[in-house]
Structures are given as structure tokens and as C-alpha cells.
């Protein structure tokens, strides 16, 4: 469409029919200025779409503004399908859902794991890339009656070394998720579930006394953020023995203060 020319309604309709052949332009639609809106239906999500002529002319947009997030591009969708396939899952269905933010929608997929007895489950594309998998396969919570491990992780992010601790009955499954987010294990202690749970509670209580959770990560939330701290505002611990010794000193100080 040449710039600077005054187009008639019929010329605009002819141009639209060439560049947007899947759209139906109402016969009574009239072009007035480049700010005139055209009643389209978005091919990406199926919602009513009324783009301005100037937007179509300058950008030749093919999808509505609700389809701007990365998950809607064909390249990203191909990447998602490859990730589903490589994980041993089967892609069952896909749909777009509101993100709670104005004019933003997000791709969700229904996938099925390799265990035929497990039902398909819905997950956002972003969470699937982050490592979220079949909830039926995932261990449910922490069981004190089973053997378990207390672990200590570290990573470098936001300009500082970050630390995180946690407990699990199936540590390898838990660590797979953390590894995708850059965490590396630096120490672990195995033992009965009841003992491991008590050690974790000791760490939590000591850090609560020191106010760690009121200072760390107020600007960033991630899986396990409530059991993490940053070296920018709290000492570094690279072994669980050192961390537990510090916890014992906090407990002793609390006893004296009492």
C-alpha cells in the first residue's frame, strides 16, 4: 500500500482481501481515516479484533494484541512441541487462557506422561519449560516415616551467590527441577524422615529469628524462595554442618536471652 495516497473504501477492501484473505469485511464497512478500525476475528485466539488500518498498513499484524506473548509465535510453539516430545510426553490439546493482565493471554497445553494409567494434565507452556511435569508422578509432600535427605543448594544470580535448603524423600526428582533453574547441590545429609524434618525445622526457626525471610528475595519469587537467602544480606554456608552449627548458636543465644 503506497504511503501518502488517499485511499478509497474499495481500495482498502481490496488491499485487505489480499493481505488478510481469511477475514470477512462487512459490506457496509466504510474507510474514513487510517485510524478507522476493521472488524476482524483473531486467527490466534478467536476473539474479536478491531485493528486500526494504520497498524495493519505499517506492521501488517497477523494477530491481535492479546497474542503478543512469546507462546503464540509459531517458532515458540514448535519449540514447545519438541520439548514435550523429548520429555516422553504426548501433546493432547492446547488453548489460550487469560493471564489476569490486560490484553495478555498465555498458552496452556494438555499433556500426558508415559505412564498410560495417569490422566492427562494441563500446564502453562512457561511452567512446562520450567520443569513442571505430571502431578500424578510427582511425590506428594514429605513423609516422615520414609528415608529422606536434607540438601543445600547454591547458584550465582542477580550479582550475588544464593543459597537454598530443603528436604525430600526422593531427592533426585526434586533436584531435577532446581537444576533447571541454575541450582547446584553442594551438600546433603541422609537419615530417617523424622530426624531430617527436625533438622529442617531447626534451620527455619533460626533464620526466622534472624529475620532472613524479611530481607531476602522480596523482589523475586521462585520455587523454594522461602527456604533461600542471598549472600548480599546473610552469611554464606557451603556445608550443612556449618549451617547447623550456626543454628545451634542462635538457639543457645535465645536460651540465654530467655
Contacts (Cβ under 8 Å, ≥6 apart) of 228: 162, 163, 164, 165, 216, 217, 222
pLDDT at 70: 41
pLDDT at 241: 93
Q: Where are the beta strands (DSSP E) in the chain?
A: 40-41, 48-49, 90-98, 105-112, 121-124, 147-157, 160-168, 184-192, 228-230
Return the domain boundaries, the chain.
15-64, 70-129, 147-257
As a whole number of angstroms, the distance between CA 121 and CA 113 comes to 9
CA 133 to chain centroid: 12
pLDDT at 255: 47
Are the C-beta atoms of residues 25 and 9 closer than 8 Å to each other? Answer: no
Q: Over its length of 258 residues, how does the chain's per-residue pLDDT go in tens digits?
A: 445 567 889 988 888 888 888 888 888 999 988 888 999 887 766 678 888 888 887 766 776 766 554 444 556 777 888 888 888 889 888 777 765 555 566 778 889 988 888 888 888 887 787 677 787 776 556 778 888 999 999 999 878 898 999 888 877 767 777 787 889 999 999 999 899 999 999 998 888 887 775 555 555 555 566 788 888 878 899 999 999 999 888 876 654 454
CA 210 to chain centroid: 30
pLDDT at 178: 79
Between helix 240-257 and helix 193-210 the angle, nearest 10°, is: 60
Amino acid at each position: 500500500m503506497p504511503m501518502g495516497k488517499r485511499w478509497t473504501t474499495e481500495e482498502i477492501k481490496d488491499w485487505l482481501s489480499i493481505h488478510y484473505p481469511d477475514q470477512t469485511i462487512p459490506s457496509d464497512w466504510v474507510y474514513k481515516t487510517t485510524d478507522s478500525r476493521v472488524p476482524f476475528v483473531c486467527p490466534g485466539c478467536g476473539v474479536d479484533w478491531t485493528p486500526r488500518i494504520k497498524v495493519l498498513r505499517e506492521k501488517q499484524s497477523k494477530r491481535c494484541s492479546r497474542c503478543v506473548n512469546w507462546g503464540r509465535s509459531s517458532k515458540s510453539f514448535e519449540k514447545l512441541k519438541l520439548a514435550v516430545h523429548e520429555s516422553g510426553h504426548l501433546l493432547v490439546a492446547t488453548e489460550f487462557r487469560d493471564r489476569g493482565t490486560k490484553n495478555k493471554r498465555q498458552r496452556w497445553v494438555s499433556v500426558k506422561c508415559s505412564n498410560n494409567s495417569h490422566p492427562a494434565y494441563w500446564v502453562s507452556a512457561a511452567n512446562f519449560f520450567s520443569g513442571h511435569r505430571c502431578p500424578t508422578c510427582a511425590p506428594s509432600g514429605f513423609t516422615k516415616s520414609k528415608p529422606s535427605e536434607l540438601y543445600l543448594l547454591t547458584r550465582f544470580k542477580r550479582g550475588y551467590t544464593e543459597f537454598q535448603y530443603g528436604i525430600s524423600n526422593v531427592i533426585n526428582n526434586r533436584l531435577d527441577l532446581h537444576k533447571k533453574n541454575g541450582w547446584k547441590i553442594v551438600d546433603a545429609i541422609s537419615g530417617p524422615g523424622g530426624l531430617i524434618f527436625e533438622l529442617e525445622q531447626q534451620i527455619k526457626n533460626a533464620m526466622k529469628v534472624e529475620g532472613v525471610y524479611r530481607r531476602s528475595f522480596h523482589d523475586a519469587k521462585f520455587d523454594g524462595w522461602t527456604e533461600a537467602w542471598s549472600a548480599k544480606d546473610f552469611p554464606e554456608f557451603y556445608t550443612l554442618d556449618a549451617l547447623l552449627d550456626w543454628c545451634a548458636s542462635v538457639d543457645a543465644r535465645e536460651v540465654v536471652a530467655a
